Amino acid sequence: MNIAYIASRYPAISHTFILREVVALRSRGFKVQTFTIRRVPGDQLLTDTDRTESQQTKAILPAGVVTVVVSHIAMFFSHPVNYFKSLAQATWQRPAGVRSAIWNYFYFLEAGMLARQMQRLGVRHIHAHFANVAANVAKLAATMTGGTWSLTLHGLADFGDPTRSNLRDKIAHARFVICVCDFGCGQAMLNSDPVHWPKIRRIHCGINTSVYAPKAPSEKADDSSVLRLLTVARLGPEKAHAVLLRAVRELVDRGIKVSLTCVGDGPLRDNLQSLTSELGLNNVVTFTGSIGQDDLPGYYDRADVFVLSSLAEGLPVVIMEAMAKSVPVVATCIAGIPEIIEHGVSGLLVSPGDHQGLAEAIAGLANDSDLRASIGKKGRDRVCQGFDITKTVEDLADVFREFLQPQPCDAHVSASSSTVETTRS
């Protein structure tokens, strides 16, 4: 099956799950051409895999005037009716406001360049991650080529402001919609007409549980006097690192020896480092900045407890990674997180924004090594059973086959996908 994937920036540091998905689909016989609206800066490509994938990915922007004009002339003469349908969508199927109108015409220009490249590659279907600019461009390009498109929805970025993202319209026009958790499916249903609910499917992101395997106890550091906490998250407001820092302060005040490593970067880094100083935690907390996927497993190996204090999520892949490494997880009870963590069994759940409750949960693990071991083991079992990428990508492949292979008894499906080449993988 010949398809394309598009994201606003690919392969981005915080979106490694997209790269894993692409690689897994290719291993099953899918031909996947990747596109990015803008190329990821070289200094943000932290692994050889990222750099190789970036070289194989086609960027839409920046583009010269000649490229834009030639692409649109080619699409106009090859698909004149579809070209004007796409232009009509850009004009009318958008959120209200002058600014939205202007941006949608930019998306239309980008869609012309994407459509031209899809036409050259013989690609009739494109899949977008997140309901952002990539989805806007994918939708218009699919209309322009007469092909189809689909969408994966994740969390706050998609559901936080559904009016601004024009989510209802995107769901209506997409061939199918993937949600990474049941919570996401509910949000997608809430923001769509019931007639479209049958094409909304829940498929978890997955990880390679062989790569994220527990380290042997004998290889662990032998300093058990300090409880080593780890969090891996973008330093943004939705991740609520400030709550975690205050929880750590409370643990220190209780006399619990603890350290915290914060992996990730983002707009709140300076603020969080200032708060760390204000709380007197400079000798306790370390900010590493962005870390490549090749180095990340080592951070899990050195951790005793993984903590995620988020206020908004979908179903975080970092939780899967920590659990696969048999690291006990403490996380907030929001969105899709309870779908992977059973409280007291495969992890601990706390209320969002409650630093005292977070500290209490961590303290309970600090004082009970047997509980840490039990939760760690059951956490890995949970991930291996339901979140290994060998299973989740097969579920995804089945959805692609279901919606894209010709079905003569369904006129709509036949018309929209009759030219799509399919192969069984």
DSSP codes, 118-187:
HHHHT--EEEEESSSHHHHHHHHHHHHHT-EEEEEE-SHHHHSSTTTTTHHHHHHHSS-EEESSHHHHHH
First to last CA, the chain: 9
Backbone angles phi, psi at 265, to 5 degrees: -140, 170
Residues with Cβ within 8 Å of residue 252, at least 6 apart in sequence = 258, 281, 284
Average the pLDDT over each of 63-67, 158-162, 281-285 and give the range with the smallest value: 158-162
pLDDT tens profile 337-377? 999 999 999 999 999 999 999 999 999 999 899 999 999 99
Q: Which bin fits 344, alpha (ψ -120 to 50), beta or left (φ > 0)?
A: left
CATH superfamily of 2-206+388-417: Glycogen Phosphorylase B; (3.40.50.2000)
Tell me the pairing of strands 348-350 and 285-289. Answer: unpaired
Looking at residue 221, its pLDDT comes to 52
Least confident of 96-105, 176-185, 257-266, 332-341: 96-105
Q: 179, 153 in Cβ contact below 8 A?
A: yes
Window from 32-36, 157-161, 320-324, 350-354 with minimum mean pLDDT:
157-161
Burial of 328-360, coded b for 16+ CB within 10 Å and e otherwise, reads bbbbbebbbbbbbbeeeebbbbbebeebebbbb
What mean pLDDT do residues 407-411 have? 44
| Domain definitions of the chain by residue range | 2-206+388-417, 217-386
pLDDT of residue 74: 98
CATH number for 217-386 (one of 3.40.50.11540, 3.30.1390.10, 3.40.50.2000, 3.40.50.970): it is 3.40.50.2000
Q: Judge contact between 414 and 408, C-beta under 8 A.
A: yes
Averaged over 211-239, what is the pLDDT? Answer: 84
The pLDDT value recorded for residue 416 is: 37
Lookup result for tokens 């997880």: 329
Identical fold at 2-206+388-417 and 217-386? yes
| pLDDT tier for residue 27 given thresholds of 50, 70 and 90 | very high
Query: What confidence score (pLDDT) does residue 144 get?
Result: 98
**What is the spatial distance between Cα 374 and Cα 212, in angstroms, rounded to a whole number?**
18
Predicted pLDDT of residue 329: 98
How much of the chain, in percent, has pLDDT values that exceed 90?
Answer: 87
pLDDT of residue 100: 84
> How much is the pLDDT for 217?
67
Using the predicted structure, report yes or no on whether residue 402 has a pLDDT greater than 80. yes
What is the residue-averaged pLDDT of the chain?
93
The total of other beta-carbon atoms located within 10 Å of residue 22's CB is 24
The pLDDT value given to residue 135: 97
Query: Residue 163: what pLDDT?
Result: 85
Q: How confident is the model at residue 223 (pLDDT cuts 50, 70, 90)?
A: low
Tokens of 324: 């696969």
Integer Cα distance of 285 and 278 in angstroms? 12
Weakest-pLDDT range from 49-63, 71-85, 204-218: 204-218
Residue 179 token pair: 């949600």
**pTM (2 decimals)?**
0.91
Query: Please, is 50 exposed, middle or buried when counting C-beta atoms within 10 Å of its C-beta (0-12, 13-18, 19+)?
Result: buried
pLDDT of residue 137: 98
Say yes or no to pLDDT of 413 above 70.
no
The token pair at 333 is 């009870």
> 31-45, 84-98, 246-260: which range is least confident on average?
84-98
What whole-number distance in Å separates Cα of residue 247 and Cα of residue 245?
Answer: 5
| pLDDT of 150 above 50 | yes
Are the beta carbons of 342 and 382 closer than 8 angstroms? yes
410, exposed or middle or buried, with CB in 10 Å at 0-12, 13-18, 19+?
Answer: exposed
**Is residue 421 very low, low, confident or very high in pLDDT (cuts 50, 70, 90)?**
very low
pLDDT band at 215 (very low <50, low <70, confident <90, very high): confident
